[in-house]
């Protein structure tokens, strides 16, 4: 394999790493989380209004709060699980 081919492969890997980093930043951003929360809220409001739920504007907050809690508690849970998993696999 030539030096030029190796350099091309390294550049491809570096570019892929940049894309992965940007994708990860988007996945964990408040912009994404807030947008999804807003969409959930609007959908819940529309649905609850359609089926004539009392105080539908307030009640529509329940699924949004559930979503926000899940997105904020999962990263610490994931870190805990990864530590536990790493300890268990390193024993083998």
Q: Is the pLDDT of residue 88 over 80?
A: no
How many C-beta atoms surround the C-beta of residue 37 within 10 A?
Answer: 18
Domain ranges within the chain, ordered by starting residue: 3-90
- Computed over every residue of the chain, the mean pLDDT equals 92
pLDDT digits (tens, 9 = 90+) for 3-27: 999 999 999 999 999 999 999 999 8
Output the pLDDT for position 72. Answer: 86
Which one, of 59, 26, 25, lies nearest residue 41 by Cα? 59
Give residue 92's pLDDT band: very low, low, confident or very high (50, 70, 90): low
How far is residue 36's CA from residue 66's CA, in Å, rounded to a whole number?
12
How far is residue 49's CA from residue 43's CA, in Å, rounded to a whole number?
10
pLDDT digits (tens, 9 = 90+) for 41-60: 999 999 999 999 999 999 99
The pTM of the whole model exceeds 0.85: no
């Amino acid at each position: 394999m030539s030096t030029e081919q190796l350099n091309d492969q390294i550049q491809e890997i570096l570019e892929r790493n940049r894309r992965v980093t940007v994708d990860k930043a988007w996945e964990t951003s408040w912009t994404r989380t807030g947008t999804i929360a807003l969409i959930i809220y609007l959908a819940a409001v529309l649905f609850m209004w359609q089926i004539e739920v009392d105080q539908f504007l307030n009640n529509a907050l329940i699924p949004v709060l559930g979503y926000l809690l899940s997105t904020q508690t999962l990263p610490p849970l994931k870190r805990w699980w990864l530590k536990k998993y790493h300890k268990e696999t390193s024993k083998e």
